[in-house]
């Protein structure tokens, strides 16, 4: 694996999130996701959503006493170890640290925090989860692991991003695409990914380029909510079936792209991937 290093540059897609030391423990992030296709057919949609923000070394503490939410038993909303990288028998935080060490030659010693969708009624599909790896003082972001899953193939890959030499407020990475995500997107593209450091707000933009021209961009803009009964109830009332909303939205937008006669690209099956169980 090759380390993906930050490059200089600023995004024009929004304000810089506030920089602050991460609060310990779990949280919820609520906001919106927007997809924009620019070439060869224009197509835009925006979806409201929420994601869980989990401190992987504190799962027992943060899920204790919650009936609707769990990480060890069957529940309406659950975090499942088997849905993510590494051996299911290995603690996920340690698996992520080992993964980063293999990819970057450096092992983060601080908290590993995961931004992800939870399983809903036993079903979960996560187009992308982000692992944010901090230093031992929990004061600086050292790496981000983007874990991407495609559909309907059920394959998973990771991109490991080295944050140690980036800006304090923003991080930007450019690299070649090498994993088939959508049948309506070719493989010969370059990625330009931009991250705000998580705090009160969380912001990610993922741009796809063809010879420097913007083909597609996805922007995630979220606001942090506390991991308390009020916030959990609020997001459940708004999105009681979040994972099902995600997968249904993907196929609905795919149907719209097909209707617009957007070019279709078969799966190249070139990159080694992990099959999602």
> Does residue 4 carry a pLDDT above 70?
no
pLDDT of residue 81: 96
Domain membership of residue 13 (yes or no) is no
> Does residue 144 carry a pLDDT above 70?
yes
Domain membership of residue 117 (yes or no) is yes
Domain membership of residue 267 (yes or no) is no
The alpha carbon of 26 is separated from its chain's Cα centroid by a whole number of angstroms, namely 16
What is the domain extent for residue 126? 27-260
- Taking alpha carbons only, the member of 90, 211, 203, 195 closest to residue 142 is 195
Domain membership of residue 265 (yes or no) is no
Domain membership of residue 203 (yes or no) is yes
Domain membership of residue 97 (yes or no) is yes
Query: Which are the contacts of 230, defined by CB distance < 8 A and separation ≥ 6?
Result: none
Lowest mean pLDDT among 30-44, 50-64, 152-166: 152-166
Domain membership of residue 5 (yes or no) is no
Total number of domains in the chain: 1
Domain membership of residue 275 (yes or no) is no
- Taking alpha carbons only, the member of 131, 177, 185, 124 closest to residue 149 is 124
Query: Which are the contacts of 251, defined by CB distance < 8 A and separation ≥ 6?
Result: none
């Amino acid at each position: 694996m090759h380390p993906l290093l930050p490059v200089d540059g600023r995004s024009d897609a929004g304000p810089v999130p506030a920089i602050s030391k991460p609060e310990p423990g779990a949280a919820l992030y609520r906001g919106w996701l927007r997809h924009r296709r620019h070439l060869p057919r224009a197509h835009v949609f925006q979806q409201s959503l929420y994601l869980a923000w989990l401190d992987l070394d504190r799962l027992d503490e943060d899920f204790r006493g919650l009936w609707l939410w769990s990480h060890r038993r069957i529940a309406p909303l659950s975090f499942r170890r088997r849905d993510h990288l590494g051996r299911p028998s290995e603690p996920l935080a340690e698996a992520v640290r080992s993964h980063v060490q293999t990819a970057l030659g450096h092992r983060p010693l601080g908290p590993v925090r995961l931004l992800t969708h939870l399983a809903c009624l036993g079903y979960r599909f996560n187009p992308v989860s982000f692992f944010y790896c901090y230093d031992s003082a929990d004061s600086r972001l050292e790496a981000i692991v983007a874990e991407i899953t495609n559909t309907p193939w059920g394959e998973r890959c990771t991109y490991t991003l080295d944050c140690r030499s980036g800006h304090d407020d923003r991080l930007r990475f450019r690299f070649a695409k090498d994993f088939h995500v959508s049948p309506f997107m070719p493989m010969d593209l370059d990625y330009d990914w931009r991250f705000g450091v998580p705090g009160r707000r969380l912001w990610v933009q993922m741009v796809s380029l063809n010879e420097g021209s913007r083909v597609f961009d996805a922007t995630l803009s979220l606001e942090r909510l506390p991991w308390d009964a009020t916030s959990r109830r609020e997001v459940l009332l708004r999105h009681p079936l979040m994972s099902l909303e995600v997968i249904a939205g993907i196929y609905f937008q795919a149907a719209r792209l097909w209707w617009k006669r957007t070019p279709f690209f078969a799966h190249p099956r070139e990159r080694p991937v992990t099959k999602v169980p």
